[in-house]
């Protein structure tokens, strides 16, 4: 089909450090079309968009612009080809004006000295804003604008580059309902001007309001592309989920039961520790909240229990567990450990109370890149290897060697630079650090993110083993099959609140997603 499409991406594949993010995905855009890209977290939506916007080169496949193959080596190149992206995290320059931001990088300027023609700058910015029919003073400083207004500025900026393809990553995630209406108005305007729009959102009603076409991705694979009129809510959710788990090692399997029929057969489904009868509550959270992040969260975790917490991106899962661990303290509610109320303002306090955590952001809150593997492992438990202030090197070496063996970390030795390890082994180093501190409660935030399949299976086995040892595990995961297979109970969060507590053996991915999706 040579005609009719502005942009075609054909058979795009992309892997990161051996982990496949996109496999053979195709996407074609017509002028004036709103094309919704749907899928769960980690389905490959963002990767596909970043390939189209020139941020990541594809490993294989081709991209055609007006039927001719092009190479998108950088965002600048994509922009020159008329492809612009509005990122979820906007990147304005706060102290420049609206006009200066819109025309950043191609300001009208005199040829001789590059002196900026301020009047032409205002005029051009005004023209672009008028095209969008928005009433926004071009002289106002960017930092005085709301998120929605900044988005409009970004769109005007894209128009200034004569963008014919506009990629929008969850543009309505952080703006109010009234602003959503205004944005949808702007999108309608763009569509009339023949701009093709790739639209990512988790909000189903928006999709059915504005999308002409829907492409569904799952685990990096292209599930299908459908005219929006052919799908309904239920059908779309089924397309987005509905995959088997690659490595089932969940409680049901530990009990020797297949995941599905356990409930139907009327059999109790619980980890071995709990089968012996209810154990003591290890961690108890009451009405916990932090303004702007999550509100009124209460739950208990028992010894030997795996509590899953799932939800979509931005539902407040990471913020919740970061508060329990003291990384960013809560400002309301109580935390009880083993029945006693505790104050946790600082990770050091959490560790003293026997709480350990592995953050979802391994680079930021996990690894110390300048330290070797061994020093990284003992960082949270160094006191145990010390005599007074002095490190007993022999003891430390023994602890590290045991940790490397226990978690099967592939490394040339404790002196190796931690940055040289693969993602999975880096994750094991961070896990080992938390475990060496001897926690009774361990919080794992997306413990399998960015690691390969084999390492995932090892992490699953480790989680099961920790529970069997009587430790309490709080497992945050956005991979539904993983959350369902591992958890004894599953909390679903949506927009900062816990909206459901489900029994993983009696629920389905569809049901979980129904709770997780914003209404």
Partner 1 sequence: MPCPSESGMPRRSGVSTAVRRLLQRFGIVIALVLVGAMLAAATPNFLTTANLINVARQISLNGILAVGVTFVLLTGGVDLSLGSVVALAGVIAAGFAHPGDYPAAVAVLMGILTGMACGAANGLVITRGRVAPFIVTLGMMTVARGLALVASGGKPVSNMSPHLTRLAGDILGLPIPVLILAAVSAAAWAFLANTRLGRYVYAVGGNENAARAAGINVNRVKLFAYTLCGALAGLAGVVLAARITTGQPNAGIAYELDAIAAVVIGGTSLSGGVGGVGGTLLGVLLMGVINNGLDLLNVSSYYQQIVKGVIIVGAVWLDRRQKE
How many CB atoms are located within 10 Å of the residue 383 CB?
11
Stretch in the footprint of partner 1 (CB under 8 A) among 112-120, 294-302, 369-377, 483-491: 369-377
- Applying CB under 8 A, does 398 fall inside the site for partner 1? no
Stretch in the footprint of partner 1 (CB under 8 A) among 93-101, 245-253, 269-277, 378-386: 378-386
Cα separations in angstroms, 239 against 223, 232, 509: 7, 11, 11
Token readout for 106 is 């191609």
What CA–CA distance (Å, rounded) separates 234 from 85? 29
Stretch in the footprint of partner 1 (CB under 8 A) among 100-108, 303-311, 383-391, 475-483: 383-391
Q: How far is the CB of 227 from partner 1 (least distance, A)?
A: 42
Q: How far is the CB of 109 from partner 1 (least distance, A)?
A: 34
Q: How far is the CB of 87 from partner 1 (least distance, A)?
A: 23
Cα separations in angstroms, 308 against 8, 14, 247, 342, 493: 40, 30, 17, 23, 11
Q: What's the CA angle centered on 441, arms 425 and 324, to 5 degrees?
A: 95
Residue (of 388, 341, 9) closest to 165 by Cα position: 9
What is the length of the chain? Answer: 519
Show the binding pattern over residues 338-367: x = contacts partner 1 (CB under 8 A), - = does not: --------xxx-xxx----x-x----xxxx
- Applying CB under 8 A, does 410 fall inside the site for partner 1? yes
Q: What are phi and psi of 467, to 5 degrees?
A: -65, -40
3-class DSSP state for residue 337? strand
Tell me, by CB under 8 A, how many residues bind partner 1: 33
Show the binding pattern over residues 317-336: x = contacts partner 1 (CB under 8 A), - = does not: --------x-x---------
Q: DSSP strand E in 119-248: where?
A: 165-169, 196-200, 213-218, 221-227
What CA–CA distance (Å, rounded) separates 450 from 126? 44
From candidates 113, 394, 454, 519, binder to partner 1 by CB under 8 A: 454
Phi-psi region for residue 463, left (φ > 0), alpha (ψ -120 to 50) or beta?
Answer: alpha
Residue closer to partner 1 (CB basis): 123 or 345: 345
Partner residues linked to 342 by β-bridges = 335
Instruction: Evaluate whether 302 touches 274 at the Cβ level (below 8 Å).
Output: yes
From candidates 1, 114, 339, 390, binder to partner 1 by CB under 8 A: 390
From candidates 244, 393, 394, 519, binder to partner 1 by CB under 8 A: 393
- Applying CB under 8 A, does 375 fall inside the site for partner 1? yes
- Applying CB under 8 A, does 389 fall inside the site for partner 1? yes
From candidates 433, 449, 456, 471, binder to partner 1 by CB under 8 A: 433
Q: How far is the CB of 304 from partner 1 (least distance, A)?
A: 25
Q: Starting at the edge strand that comes first in sequence, how are the strands of the sheet with 332-337 ordered?
A: 294-302, 281-290, 332-337, 340-342
Residue closer to partner 1 (CB basis): 105 or 388: 388
From candidates 116, 173, 332, 391, binder to partner 1 by CB under 8 A: 391
Token readout for 115 is 């002196």
Give the binding site for partner 1 (CB under 8 A).
Answer: 325, 327, 346-348, 350-352, 357, 359, 364-371, 375, 379-380, 382-383, 386, 389-391, 393, 410, 422, 433, 437, 454
């Amino acid at each position: 089909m040579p005609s009719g499409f502005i942009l075609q991406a054909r058979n795009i594949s992309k892997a990161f450090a051996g982990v496949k993010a996109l496999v053979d995905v195709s996407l074609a855009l017509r002028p004036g079309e709103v094309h919704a890209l749907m899928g769960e977290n980690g389905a490959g939506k963002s990767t596909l968009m970043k390939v189209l916007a020139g941020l990541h080169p594809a490993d294989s496949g081709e991209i055609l612009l007006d039927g001719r193959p092009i190479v998108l080596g950088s965002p600048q190149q994509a922009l020159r080809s008329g492809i612009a992206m509005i990122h979820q995290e906007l990147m304005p320059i706060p102290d420049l004006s609206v006009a200066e931001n819109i025309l950043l990088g191609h300001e009208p300027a005199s040829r001789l000295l590059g002196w900026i023609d301020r009047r032409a700058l205002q005029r051009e910015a005004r023209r672009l804003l008028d095209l969008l029919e928005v009433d926004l003073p071009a002289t106002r400083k960017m930092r005085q604008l709301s998120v929605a207004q900044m988005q409009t500025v970004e769109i005007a900026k894209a128009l200034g580059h004569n963008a014919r393809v506009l990629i929008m990553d969850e543009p309505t995630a952080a703006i109010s309902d009234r602003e959503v209406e205004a944005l949808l108005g702007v999108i309608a305007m763009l569509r009339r001007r023949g701009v093709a729009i790739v639209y990512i959102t988790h909000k189903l009603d928006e999709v059915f309001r504005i999308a002409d076409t829907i492409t569904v991705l799952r685990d990096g694979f292209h599930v299908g592309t459908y005219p929006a009129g052919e799908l309904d809510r239920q059908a779309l959710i089924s397309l987005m989920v509905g995959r088997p788990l690659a490595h089932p090692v969940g409680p049901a399997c530990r009990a020797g039961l297949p995941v599905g029929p356990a409930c139907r057969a009327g059999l109790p489904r619980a980890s071995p520790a709990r089968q012996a009868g209810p154990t003591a509550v290890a961690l108890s959270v009451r009405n916990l909240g932090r303004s702007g992040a999550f509100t009124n969260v209460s739950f208990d975790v028992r010894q030997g229990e795996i509590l899953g917490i799932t939800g979509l991106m931005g539902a407040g899962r990471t913020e919740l567990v970061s508060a329990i661990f003291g990384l960013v303290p809560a400002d309301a509610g109580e935390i009880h450990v083993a029945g006693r109320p505790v104050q946790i303002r600082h990770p050091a306090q959490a560790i003293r109370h026997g709480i350990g955590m592995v953050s979802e952001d391994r680079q930021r809150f996990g690894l110390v890149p300048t330290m070797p593997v061994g020093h990284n492992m003992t960082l949270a438990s160094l006191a145990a290897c010390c005599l007074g202030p002095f490190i007993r090197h022999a003891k430390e070496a023994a602890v590290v060697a045991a940790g490397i063996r226990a978690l099967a970390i592939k490394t040339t030795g404790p002196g190796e630079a931690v940055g040289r390890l693969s993602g999975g082994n880096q994750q094991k180093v961070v896990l080992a650090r938390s475990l060496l501190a001897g926690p009774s409660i361990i919080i794992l935030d997306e413990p399998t993110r960015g690691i390969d399949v084999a390492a995932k299976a090892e992490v699953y086995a480790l989680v099961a083993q920790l529970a069997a040892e009587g430790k309490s595990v709080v497992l945050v995961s956005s991979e539904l099959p993983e959350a369902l297979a591992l958890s004894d109970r599953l909390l679903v969060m949506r927009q900062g609140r816990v909206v459901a507590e489900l029994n993983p053996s009696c629920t389905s991915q569809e049901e979980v997603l129904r709770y997780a999706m914003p209404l």
